[in-house]
Amino acid sequence: MADTAAAAPAAARERLAADLRKLGAALSRKAQPGLAPEVQELVGSWDLRSRELLDAADGAEGGGMDGAAAAELLHPLLSGAFAAAHPGLFTLTAQAISSAVLLCCSTEASDFFLGPVAASLLDLFLGEQHSWQIHRAAAELLVTLLAQQDCAAWLLAAPSTESAVDALIAAAKREGAPQQDSAFAVLAGLAAADAATAERAASPEAALLPVAVERIRSLAAHPPPGSLGRSDFGPLHLFRALESAASGAVSTRARAAPGLAGAVADLLVALGFEEWAAAREERGAMFDQLEVDMLALLNGRLTVPVLYAPTYAALLSSRGALPRVLALLRSPSKRARAAASVCLAELACKDAGRDALFNVPRAASELAAALRRAHADGEDPALTQCRAAFLLLGLLRHSESRRVGAALARAAAAEGSGGSLLGALAGLIAAGVDDASASTELRQNMCLAGAAVLEQLLMFVTAAQLRVVQQVPRLAAACVRALHYWLTEAGGKQVNLVKHLVVVLAGLAGFDVVQLARWGNQPPAATADTAAARAALRGAPGIEGTLRRFLSQQPPDEDGPMESRWAAKWLLRLPEVNAAAAAAPKPAAAEVAAAAATVAAAAAEGAAAAAATAATAVATAAAAPAAAAATAAAGQRAVPQQPQPGAGGGGSSGSGSGASGSGAEAAARPRACGECGKSAAEAPLLRCVGCKAQHYCGDAVTEIQNWAQWETDVLASDKPVLVDIWATWCGPCKLVAPLMDWAEKEYGDKFKVVKVNHTPNPEVIAKYKVYGLPALMVFKGGELVADSHREGAVTKAILQKYVDEHILAPANA
């Protein structure tokens, strides 16, 4: 990365050195009497001054260049007399200045170099005695300079600039003048930096906007000859600058310019024609930016209700504008693809726009290809993928969508379960839960887009195609996690999103989403195709409670479709939904394990270890299948279940390497506790998974065995209590367990940590409505602290924030 960063200034320096050599050689070839005295003196010291300038570039921190040295060398060559007498030398001077700009990083460069050079270029552009070539070269370089930091501000502060703005407006209105479009470009650069200039350019008195619209239309009909530059598209740049202006009145005036949408649509289409191919080959990056600007102009009008209809009409009446926007989803430019997806999304916000998009040949194929490509390239799902999915959803919900749905199902099946189309939809659902950097609304939209498109696809797939969908890696696990997240952690208000997730999850598990009324039939046994979904359900803690919570939010007499209710009820009939509780250790087994721990403390160590090992093996054998299936469904390596400290973890497995539910593993032989000094004869010892040497007695974190102990250790505690509710079959609980040990040691004097095994404590689970594991709660004075109930795995940073907010924060904070 550092090498790449260093390469850019180095390349700019080499380019500047080459331009200075070329300019110096051309100057030396000119007859001395033909040059002004100051230029003759400059030629005599050219090599020395060039080296000083390049040395300044080499020595400046960050690759910056001394603006004073650059001005001293190049500014004298920008006089009007010199440019008029030696136009060829002016072109070489402009090239050298353009290279020097790349090395001017400091603010001082604007004062010493960029500002004075820009002022001279503006004078050259407005000077009537110069050729159109000088005007164009000066404008092209001036537009580049105005994009640099503080350059426009320096130029606008000059006393002569006010009259210069009036002169630019006049030049832009001079029909047929070669510099007309260039005048628009310079005005755009000034208007982007100055609200007053933007106001003058957009004012009715200036009457400039209708002229700009006509110039855009003329560009579409007649491409400029020769090599193209940014200044050739000046009218377009002016509208972009005005629409981005700080003044709402200026922006509104620019958007409402009559005929703008049609002119922009015509130019957008024209840029795709063969006549522009050579120019595009030469200036590809510039054309990509032009397309982004045009799409932004169209999008800006689509967002204004009163301008939607004329913009919609322009996209449909222009020569293939809408297909051209769709085709830009295949642009090599990521920014152009994103801009095209935004424009299409705004168009499809209304029924007329959706119908128009539906009628474009191969629209669904273009959108699916955009979705696949963005996913395969690893792009942010919130950008093109999310919008393309919503656009596909609009097509799939069209009244004549059967052909679209069938074609999309065929394409997805042909690509396979590991393909990028289905992978993109699964990725959107996962990103709706995992992308912590996105806003809640954006996460909801990503998840909704993926789930809703998948639900529609399930309506069109054949039996063979359904098997492909059911085998998409991590799709079922992502749906389970999203269902839990949006119903619990996110507040449970996204009912519309959850409806789609429920139907998709049921379809993956074997529910016939076409014959929905058959939901009451006995669910079929799991097959190889539905195994992933069934395993994800079996390994999901609290899935039954999550589904029941959803049904409680959807009363039976609610108006609207009942598909999601039928799907939820069908899921509740699956044996896998209740398999978690069935796979967990029964209370009787827990009592046996606890008794074994008691015996171990009083009996000979060998017999105690054997009893504990046997008791642990019973719990492990019952819990392991569910946990292994859940982790396999999530695409993770299965971790064997291990003895829990509350069940008497004094023994170890044959390998002696298992991790307990509290993040420690059973000691292989008697040791002394590293904290209190107790031996294994007094308490079961646990070995730290981190250092493998320090042993602890396990008494630091209290393990709740029943309701009576809950009342004593939690409700009657004189200190705040952090409660961790876990289960042996819960994979994420294993990630949280070591954090509880850390919290007890880190904050032991401020609060205590209590662990509650989910299975033998049904009263706690029911009273505090625990639907997902692991679950955290905070109690103070026997009362649950408001908003402290949290479900799901946490990191150390999240736990620290949780403790700060719910335990350490002052009561009145």
* Structure confidence by residue, pLDDT tens digits, 440-476: 899 999 999 999 999 999 989 999 999 999 999 999 9
Question: Which pLDDT band holds residue 65 (cuts at 50, 70, 90)?
Answer: low
Question: Which pLDDT band holds residue 793 (cuts at 50, 70, 90)?
Answer: confident
pLDDT at 199: 94
pLDDT at 565: 85
Calpha distance 109→92 (Å, rounded): 21
pLDDT at 299: 95
Cα 347 versus chain centre, distance: 23
> What is the DSSP annotation of 274-340?
GGGHHHHHHSHHHHHHHHHHHHHHHHHHHTSHHHHHHHHHHHHHSSSHHHHHHHGGG-S-HHHHHHH
Model confidence at 803: pLDDT above 80: yes
pLDDT at 606: 35
Average pLDDT, integer, range 304-333:
92
Calpha distance 445→767 (Å, rounded): 34
Any idea of the CA torsion for 535, 541, 545, 551, to the nearest 10 degrees?
Answer: -40
* Structure confidence by residue, pLDDT tens digits, 144-172: 889 887 888 888 888 777 788 999 999 99
Greater confidence (300 vs 644) lies with: 300
Q: Is 287 exposed, middle or buried (0-12, 13-18, 19+ CB in 10 A)?
A: buried
| Residues contacting residue 109 through CB under 8 Å, at least 6 positions apart | 64, 65, 67, 70
pLDDT at 86: 82
pLDDT at 680: 37
Question: Which pLDDT band holds residue 619 (cuts at 50, 70, 90)?
Answer: very low
**507-521, 552-566, 626-640, 726-740: least confidently modelled range:** 626-640
**90-104, 243-257, 588-602, 720-734: least confidently modelled range:** 588-602
**313-327, 590-604, 737-751: least confidently modelled range:** 590-604
Average pLDDT, integer, range 40-52:
84
What's the sign of the alpha-carbon dihedral 638, 691, 645, 746?
Answer: negative
* Structure confidence by residue, pLDDT tens digits, 507-556: 999 988 666 555 566 788 899 999 999 999 998 878 888 898 888 876 65
Model confidence at 607: pLDDT above 90: no
Helix axes 731-747, 796-803, angle to 10 degrees: 50
Average pLDDT, integer, range 615-636:
35
Model confidence at 774: pLDDT above 70: yes
Q: Are strands 783-784 and 702-704 parallel, antiparallel or unpaired?
A: unpaired
> What is the DSSP annotation of 594-627?
HHHHHHHHHS-HHHHHHHHHHHHHHHHHHHHHHH
How confident is the prediction for the chain on average, in pLDDT?
80
* Structure confidence by residue, pLDDT tens digits, 685-703: 444 434 444 444 444 578 8
Model confidence at 628: pLDDT above 60: no
pLDDT at 148: 83
Residue 787's alpha-carbon distances to 491, 547, 758, 776, 807, in angstroms, are: 11, 22, 21, 11, 12
Q: What percent of the chain has pLDDT over 90?
A: 42
Greater confidence (504 vs 37) lies with: 504
- Burial pattern 715-742, b for ≥16 Cβ within 10 A else e, equals eebeebbbbbbbbbbbbbbbebbbbbbe
* Structure confidence by residue, pLDDT tens digits, 362-420: 999 999 999 999 999 999 998 899 999 999 999 998 878 888 999 999 999 999 888 88
- Burial pattern 21-41, b for ≥16 Cβ within 10 A else e, equals eebbeebeebeeeebeeebee
**423-437, 614-628, 725-739: least confidently modelled range:** 614-628
Average pLDDT, integer, range 663-692:
41
| Residues contacting residue 484 through CB under 8 Å, at least 6 positions apart | 540, 542, 543, 546, 771, 772, 791, 792
pLDDT at 384: 93
pTM value > 0.85? no
Average pLDDT, integer, range 132-143:
90
Q: What percent of the chain has pLDDT over 70?
A: 78
Catalytic sites, residue numbers: 730, 733
